[in-house]
Structure 1
Amino acid sequence: MTDSRAGWLDTFFTHVYTDSDLELRDPATTEAMVRCVSSALDLSPGAAVMDLACGTGRHSVPLSAAGYRVTGVDLMEHYLCQARARTRDAGQHVEFVQADMRDLGALPQGSFDAVVSLHTSFGFFDTEDENLSVLTQIRRVLAPGGRFLIDVMNRDWFLSQSGESFGVGADEFVVRNFDSSDGVTYLYEERFSPLTSRIRWHIRSADASVSATADYRVYSAHELISMLARAGFDVLGLHGDYDLSPFHVHSPHLICTAAATPREK
């Protein structure tokens, strides 16, 4: 396909994001996410698993260590270089492929037992047709009955958050926060549009030397379930956190497991 990637991807997915995202730097959270995948999908040893939007291999490497045959897919080659180094250092074997998640044509149809999409790696594109195409591509590469686990921020939980919102209009929803735990202070602003359900997430260092902005769609449970059905999935379960607790409206995560429906002959 032609390169029609969302304009913010190249400038956001740099060291600024990996240095500033608290969850990315938390080994306990990573371990919980990998346990979640293993428990929720109940895969056999040696199952072929795609880690979609794998980034620097944060999940790919421990999934390989858990006994799966892992392929990590990401658009950003500089992240894939870091992922390959991480894999070598861990003594694991993971295949890494550079691809746009809307076009997984480089990967054979029906070649995976499972696909995982973790840490809100969905909703990146400007139109719902483009975001739906990600799900249909995932459906294409799954074997009959193959499993899909998607983990995204719960839109309804986000709207229950409070934050410093001085200087914004009454019709705006803005959450602001900061972190200084790693020696550098980062300021975060998440600005939500009720008309599009998109969040514009701006990160900058306190001294303004680095910054990055993402612009992505967030979903309520019924919206994600509807999209999965349109893409050819049967929803198996909904969970609200990595301990597989039941989903409810105030759950921070929307973790959905689904099975690929049989293709029509």
Structure 2
Amino acid sequence: MLKDSKMWYASWFDTPYYHILYKDRNDIEARSFMDTLTNYLSLEQGEKILDLACGKGRHSIYLNTLGYDVTGVDLSKNSIEYASQYTNKTLRFKVHDMCKPYSEKFSAVFNLFTSFGYFDKEEDNLNTIKAIKSDLNDHGFGVIDFMNSEYVIENLVPEEVKEVNGIKFKIKRFLEDGYIYKEIRFNDNNEDFFFTERVKAITMSDFENYFDQADVNLLDVFGDYQLQKFNKKTSTRLILIFK
């Protein structure tokens, strides 16, 4: 799949290979982050949370075990189909474009693990923030967990080979036209595959500009999953709390 193809993420995220490559994501770290975040926001059991770009639902499912009423949405039909096996009275999954408002109001809207900045149209970054704002109830909080682009660019690993489930993923990373690209090549069952991830290298100042345009109030900024102070040179994450 060529890097200039429209909505590359709709194709790559829908393949089983995406989930194979990233199957070693740290679930313990993810759960600890959810514990820390919900405590920080003082969310009470039974409150409604919208998990934007939920993937296969790992954050949604855990948040539900903490007692929250959770809706997970994603553009990937395959991911939503998988996650839906965990549906219950207070956990549901829907296919939804996060650039558009959802039809309910929530105490919190979470956009986690750099699930932002993929769009082909620049205005969709702003549209997503506007949609998050419209999805919040009167006391609700929006959270975007993004990479710290400045740190990532400074520490970019140009090439690596990662073997998972017997598949050797050859990965190439580079910066071009304000986007961080990851080209992924591999062979499985004698068939060659090529996918490209592309994420806009959005900085803290870029987000501040989006928030100004969306009339959103930025409340706090953190630099890691322990919610330590953000430092643009050393922090691995850019976690924004707003309403």
Q: Which residue of 1 aligns with 2:210?
A: 227
Alignment match, 1:52: 52
2:150 paired with 1:156: yes
Query: 2:10 — aligned with what?
Result: 10
Structure 2 residue matching 1:72: 3-state secondary structure: strand
Structure 1: 5+ residue stretches without partners: 164-174, 260-265
Paired with 2:113 and 2:24, the residues of 1 have a C-alpha distance of: 9
SS at match of 2:154: coil
Give matches, 1:133-172, under 5 Å. Answer: 133-163=127-157
Cα distance in 1 for residues equivalent to 2:6 and 2:37:
28
Do 1:155 and 1:218's aligned partners in 2 also have CA atoms closer than 8 Å? yes
Give the drift of 1:185: 2.3
| Residue of structure 2 in register with 1:99 after alignment | 96
What TM-score comes out, normalization by structure 1 length?
A: 0.81
3-state SS in 1 of match to 2:58: coil
Please point out which of 184, 187, 190 is paired with 2:173: 190
User: Where does residue 254 of structure 1 map in the other structure?
Assistant: 238
What amino acid is aligned across from residue 127 of structure 1 in structure 2? Answer: K
**Residue 113 of structure 1 pairs with residue 107 of structure 2:** yes
2:71 partner letter? T
Query: Deviation at 1:39?
Result: 3.0
Could you tell me the TM-score, scaled by structure 2's length? 0.88
Deviation at 1:206, TM superposition (A): 5.8
Distance 1:210 1:29, change over 3 A: farther
- State the distance in 2 between where 1:36 and 1:205 align: 37
User: Counterparts of 2:175 and 2:166 in 1: how far apart (Å)?
Assistant: 29
- One-letter amino acid matched to 2:154: S
4+ runs deviating over 4 angstroms: none
Residue 202 of structure 2 is aligned to residue 201 of structure 1? no
1:156–1:220 Cα contact (<8 Å) kept: yes
Judge which range, 49-58 or 143-152, deviates more.
143-152
Count of residue correspondences: 235
Q: CA deviation at 1:229?
A: 2.9
Q: Deviations over 1:90-109 (max 9, x none)?
A: x784111211111235x13x
- Check 1:162–1:233 CA distance in 2 against 1; reply closer, same or farther (3 A cut): closer
CA contact (8 A) 1:6 1:124 kept: no
How far 1:62 sits from its partner (Å)?
A: 0.1
What value does the CA root-mean-square deviation take over the aligned residues? 2.1
| 2:2 paired with 1:19 | no
Cα separation, partners in 2 of 1:93 and 1:226, compared to 1, 3 Å: same
The answer to whether the 8 A contact 1:49-1:115 is kept is yes
Q: 1:256: how far off?
A: 0.8
> How does 1:29-40 map onto structure 2 within 5 Å?
29-40=29-40
Opposite residue 204 of structure 1, the aligned amino acid is R
Q: Are residues 1:129 and 2:130 paired?
A: no
SS in structure 2 opposite 1:247?
A: coil
Letter in 2 for 1:74: D
The question of whether the paired residues in 2 share the 8 Å contact of 1:53 and 1:117 is answered with: yes
